[in-house]
Amino acid sequence: MLSHQIFGFKCKDILKFISYLLLPIILGVFALVITLQQQQLLKQQHEEDREISALQREQDKFFNDQKYQNELLDTYINDMITLLKESNGSLTSNEITATIARIKTLDIFRQLDAQRNARIIRVLHDAKQLTETQEHSALDLSTAKLCDIDFRHMAINEKQLHELFLMGVFLSNASFINMDMKFVSFAKTAFDKADFSGISTDLSDTKTLYANFQKASCIAARFNRSMLSYSNFWRSNLKHASFHSADLTNAIFTDANLYGAQFQYARITDMQLQSTLSIQDAILPNGTRAEDRNLINNGHADCTISPVDNWALLTGNVITAMSSTNDTNCQFMLQTFAMGATVMQRVNLSFKWDPNTWPHSQAVLSANMGSNVFIQLRGINEIGHIHSQQKLNSTQRFISLVLNRDMHQLEVIIGFEALVKNSSKSNSWCDDIKLFIVYGTDLEFIQDTSTTTSMITAVLPAYKLFTVFNVFNDMIFNPDDATTVENIGRKLSAAINLGFQCLNDVSKPQCSLSSQRKWHTIFDYNITIISPIVLISSHTDNPRRYMVSYTVMDISKNALLPGTQVIMAIDKVPNDQKLILFGFTIVNNTFVQSPFNSSFTVFTTTSPKTDKLWIILIFLELMALFLFFIGLYFCLYCKFRKRENDKPIA
């Protein structure tokens, strides 16, 4: 029998050595694995204990804060009771008591939450300290800032609230839903957007008789289905407010700003609307869009009168004549083609714009014209110098000029360029020259600059929509201009509202591919742009790609619509109609997009320490397995060689 050897060692000795070595290694590996797992469990338990401790501290802090606020509220109420006893039931009976009550109330408002602030208002109202009577005036709470107040909690049966006087107060996200209010006054009160999500002051389904909203700021406030008979909105800022199906019988809107307001199915007369400061782009009860009176006299060419009526002819000569393409459309045209012409008209701002009431306003000029015509809009100061100016040409639909308190006049100059060789005479015309003012206040300017970025994340993803569109280099487009943004919103509104009309009745002619006409659209859905228009391509690209984000609200239901419903509606509109209504080509022909249109990949991250630990464990286990297979191999190899050596020699 031959003894098989490897490197001078017998196989039997090698196997013994490996068997002696393998068992401690395996035991050591498993001991190490168990130790590491126990450490991991202990660490996890420690983290859980820390979280429980932190949660306990938060709960203790919350209960302590609640206790502290309750103590503040009780102290305030006791102080007011004492003052009422000392002043025979009227906090405004003398100046000192009124001042003390006002200081204490404004100070407590800053320290308490919305629920307790509502209780304070209810206590004061129940004590008749927020009511104007012949015996005493209401407690002055002007400049108080109240957020998330639900006035239903202070009404009788959460319905009736009468004779409430809150003047000059800032009310953010206040709710008056389904309430019956009479003889309430919110004069000079600002109804502010509170949560930047498009939800603003809500007076929906409210019966509010003889309410006073004089000089109130109700930007984007909702008065849907409310009874507002005999209410007073004198000089109020109601920009983008919604009065859908509201009863506005005998309501006063004298000098009120109703720019972009919604009056679908509302009960309001033409006389009421004509008394306003502005109704530009407001949606009237019959679904049509309103326009302010044109500040330009003879802005629409009339072939029956002299073309220079109300215009000063500076150079050349201008005539009125029928369009070469439409024999019913009269236009201003250049007569002396060799030298060109210039006409001018000035608009006095004295009786059209009050810089103290509307300090953040802008003039908007629009016109139709040929390529050989341009229009300049200038702001002129008191001594006749140009303060600022903008220029409109045939590639633009409108321009805007920010008004400054130094401006006393607006000057509109129409220039007809002299024709050079090979120039077309058919391009020397203009018509439909319109000038109006978009009025704005300090308050809405502050809101716009402080809430824009917050609104992006405030809207739930299911309701956040966006459209990506192309802008070519020959188009004048400024995404930071407020008028441009509003114009994009109007175009989106027209297309999306048409989509819902087609969804309900696909037989409408505007829902047909063969229809190339821009049809009248009823606006039952409101579009709110929730973030700045963003350039998502390089500024050197042609075309450049921009993205606009917005929400769609069903006005009748007063609720935001998810992206799936809007996409289903807009898909019913032919692409040619989308282009006519929106005016820009759409990237990939996908008009409305939502974060839920495409799939999302969720990535999870693990701790680097945890990754290293498992790598070590896997390596050790592989080493033990490797040694085990080596031992098994040697065992089988030696056994096989032993059988060969035991064979008899012939």
Tokens read off for 624: 């033990």
Average pLDDT score, the chain: 78
- pLDDT tier, 12 (very low <50, low <70, confident <90, very high otherwise): low
pTM over 0.85: no
Supply the pLDDT for residue 189.
72
Supply the pLDDT for residue 448.
46
Q: Among the listed ranges 9-23, 263-277, 281-295, 635-649, which one has the minimum average pLDDT value?
A: 635-649
Q: What is the 3-state secondary structure (H, E, C) of 572-591?
A: CCCHHHHHHHHCCCEHHHCC
β pairing state of 373-381 and 362-369: unpaired
Number of C-beta neighbours around residue 43 at 10 A:
12
Higher pLDDT, 650 or 348: 348
User: In which residue are the tokens 């920009």 written?
Assistant: 239
Contact between 148 and 194 (Cβ < 8 Å): yes
Supply the pLDDT for residue 473.
86
Geometric angle at alpha carbon 74, from 68 and 80, rounded to 5°:
135
d(CA 554, CA 527): 9
Higher pLDDT, 324 or 283: 283
Higher pLDDT, 221 or 615: 221
Contact between 216 and 198 (Cβ < 8 Å): no
Tokens read off for 358: 């509307």
Burial class (CB in 10 A: 0-12, 13-18, 19+), 362: middle
Q: What is the 3-state secondary structure (H, E, C) of 383-440?
A: CCCEEEEEEECCCCCEEEEECCCCEEEEEEEEEECCCCCCCCHHHCEEEEEEEEEECC
In this predicted model, what pLDDT tens digit does every residue of 271-291 receive, in sequence order?
Answer: 999 999 999 999 999 989 999
Higher pLDDT, 24 or 582: 582
Given a cut of 90, whether residue 412 has pLDDT beyond it is yes
Given a cut of 60, whether residue 70 has pLDDT beyond it is yes
The whole-angstrom distance between residue 56's C-alpha and the CA centroid of its chain comes to 38
Residue 355 DSSP symbol: T
Pick left, alpha or beta for residue 137 (phi over 0 → left; psi -120 to 50 → alpha; otherwise beta). beta
In this predicted model, what pLDDT tens digit does every residue of 428-452 receive, in sequence order?
Answer: 899 999 999 999 886 665 544 444 3
- What number is the average pLDDT over the span 540-558? 82
β pairing state of 559-560 and 544-554: antiparallel
d(CA 650, CA 648): 6
Q: Among the listed ranges 4-8, 240-244, 320-324, which one has the minimum average pLDDT value?
A: 4-8
Secondary structure class of 99 (helix, strand, coil): helix
Supply the pLDDT for residue 353.
93
Residue 348 backbone dihedrals phi, psi, to 5 degrees: -80, 125
Given a cut of 70, whether residue 627 has pLDDT beyond it is no
Tokens read off for 182: 């009479």
Supply the pLDDT for residue 290.
92
Bridge partner residues of 162 (DSSP):
182
d(CA 207, CA 223): 10
User: In which residue are the tokens 């953040």 written?
Assistant: 360
Q: Among the listed ranges 85-89, 415-419, 519-523, 616-620, which one has the minimum average pLDDT value?
A: 519-523
550: Cβ–Cβ under 8 A, 6 or more apart, which residues?
Answer: 465, 466, 467, 489, 492, 527, 528, 529, 530
Question: Per the omega criterion (within 30 degrees of 0), is the bond before 562 cis?
Answer: no
Supply the pLDDT for residue 445.
54
- pLDDT tier, 455 (very low <50, low <70, confident <90, very high otherwise): very low
Q: Among the listed ranges 233-242, 529-538, 549-558, which one has the minimum average pLDDT value?
A: 549-558
Contact between 209 and 226 (Cβ < 8 Å): no
Supply the pLDDT for residue 104.
92
Cα 90 to Cα 124, 261, 567: the distances in Å are 11, 41, 59
Secondary structure class of 270 (helix, strand, coil): helix
Burial class (CB in 10 A: 0-12, 13-18, 19+), 637: middle
Supply the pLDDT for residue 163.
79
Tokens read off for 275: 């008394």
Percent above pLDDT 90 for the chain? 22
Which strands form 373-381's sheet, in the order they lie side by side? 312-315, 341-348, 407-416, 373-381, 386-392
Supply the pLDDT for residue 242.
86
Q: Of 370, 377, 380, which Cα lies nearest the Cα of 399? A: 377
In this predicted model, what pLDDT tens digit does every residue of 574-625 receive, in sequence order?
Answer: 888 888 888 898 887 788 887 655 433 333 334 444 445 556 666 666 666 6
d(CA 411, CA 390): 11
Contact between 462 and 562 (Cβ < 8 Å): yes
In this predicted model, what pLDDT tens digit does every residue of 492-510 receive, in sequence order?
Answer: 988 898 888 888 877 777 7
Higher pLDDT, 636 or 197: 636
- pLDDT tier, 258 (very low <50, low <70, confident <90, very high otherwise): very high
d(CA 83, CA 194): 33
